[in-house]
Amino acid sequence: MPESPHPELRPPARSRLLALLRQEPRTVDELATGLGVTRNAVRVQLAALERDGMVHRAALRPSLRRPAQTYAVTSEAEVLLSRLYAPVALSLVRELADRMDGDALRELFRAVGRRLAAELPRPRGDLRERAQAVSTLLNELGGLTEIETTEQEIVLRGYACPLAAIAAHQPSVCAAVEALVEALLERPAEEHCDRSGAPRCRFVIAAD
């Protein structure tokens, strides 16, 4: 029987496919056998996962006919699939807060922000263009930000915090983002985040 021209994998099968790839790299045939679906269904899902950065093409595996392409989960996908990072990070921050005074903890987070910035390319253009690039970066990291400009200042305003799970319990973590913004813009930034409800970022940069 020919394979369906429009195969689909429902969410449970997608999760099972990722689980198989987290065990070891596999070929399309191996995935189809393991999932009990057609090869076309696997190919469609792999194409979507590749597009989303969850799966990448790994080594070619020798076979009697021709080398077979294997697929593996990306390191970025492992981070997204794990639910342990946030609890461990929050526990670490709480442990640090118990061992350090407020000023020392804030400076530690600022050092973390500067270290992160050192690993990123510097944005180019005038100050507004650079601020927009930083806003885009924060959005890619899980935030939801935009910039507001006046003659006196540029405000990087967030409607969702990429560190909300930690910032809600330990506000000093916002100093890491403050230092990150400062380092990328090479200009002082002041953190005025709103923590009255769900944390919302707000960083003010002098325009002049």
Distance from C-alpha of 190 to C-alpha of 164, rounded to nearest angstrom? 18
Give the pLDDT band of residue 10 (cuts 50, 70, 90).
low
| Coil vs helix vs strand at 104 | helix
pLDDT at res. 12: 76
Task: Give the chain's domains with CATH numbers.
Answer: 11-81 (1.10.10.10), 85-206 (3.90.1520.10)
Q: What residue type is assigned to position 117 of the chain?
A: A
pLDDT at res. 9: 56
Distance from C-alpha of 23 to C-alpha of 186, rounded to nearest angstrom? 44
What's the burial of 145, exposed, middle or buried (CB within 10 Å: 0-12/13-18/19+)? Answer: buried
Give this prediction's pTM: 0.75
Backbone Cα Rg of the chain: 22
Distance from C-alpha of 29 to C-alpha of 31, rounded to nearest angstrom? 5
Average pLDDT, the chain: 91
Query: Which of these, 57, 58, 55, 60, lies nearest to 74 by C-alpha position?
Result: 55
